[in-house]
Amino acid sequence: MSENTVRPVDPFPELALGCMSLPERFSDAKKIIYAAFDSGIRFLDTADLYQKGQNEQNIGRAIQTKRNQLILASKVGNQWNAEGTAWAWNPRKAYILQAVEESLKRLRTDYLDLYQLHGGTLEDPLEEALEAFELLISQGKIKAFGISSIRPNVIRKVMTMSPPATIMMQYSPLDRRPEEEVFPLLEKSETRVLARGAFAKGILIDKPAIAYLDFSKEKVAEIKTEIQSQGFSPESVLIRFGLVEKSVSSLVIGASSVDHVEKIRKGYAESKTIPLDLILNLKQKFTPNLYQDHR
């Protein structure tokens, strides 16, 4: 593995549109993508898994005149069977090199700004997967690679082999597991976190409280009430909550309607007015949860 992993020249923007939630119909997806662009969001994150490639295809159609103004990320590793009824995990070099060509074709682009391994275990042939990413960088087909993983043991291993530009993981007031070990590790490196799940599937915004990870429904309701009683919109508090972490460069937030994009835009603008102490007090008020597996 190369000791000098190629990284993007510019840092990743603080907000990315998570495209998994985009409608499958092109006209609806395009409206959301354009609303995000008009709101200043220039970072799109998708995966070949989403809608069996239709997600990438819709994005490719929508961004033709805007490609050079966008940071475009996709993911690889989940391979659909011939019938399209199920997928299997495949991190092999040959598959990655084959899959990227299909993603590039669907996205109507010559390169990806970021290509991510969509999962991973300690049993994977990680050296082989990383070789594929290094080759794609040398060919100019990707600018940087990342992994999407919540497993501390996998993250530690990859960081010792060939540190990626990014690691995508879940993070919110209901999932603070990265705070224990992963965030401190990555703060000392050039690798940045793309945090997904900032709104906890909408539970901390406007959906009913339910049990979440090791939090009971009652505890989730308590945390939600606390967030919503701070005098700021819950979106703004949650965005500030994620971005205050030194290792987090970007929040990847999904939207399934133009209205969702508008709430993200307003929340991001408002988040810049929230005092740091408010977030630190929230973090101190509730005990963070910890990883039980894959430590």
3-class DSSP string for 217-256: HHHHHHHHHHHCCCCCCHHHHHHHHHHCCCCEEEEEEECC
Residue bearing tokens 């509730």:
286
Q: Is 115 a catalytic residue?
A: no
Instruction: Give 289: exposed, middle or buried? Use CB within 10 Å, 0-12, 13-18, 19+.
Output: middle
> Could you tell me which residues are beta bridge partners of residue 252?
16, 196
Of 50, 115, 171, 268, catalytic: 50
**Positions marked catalytic:** 50
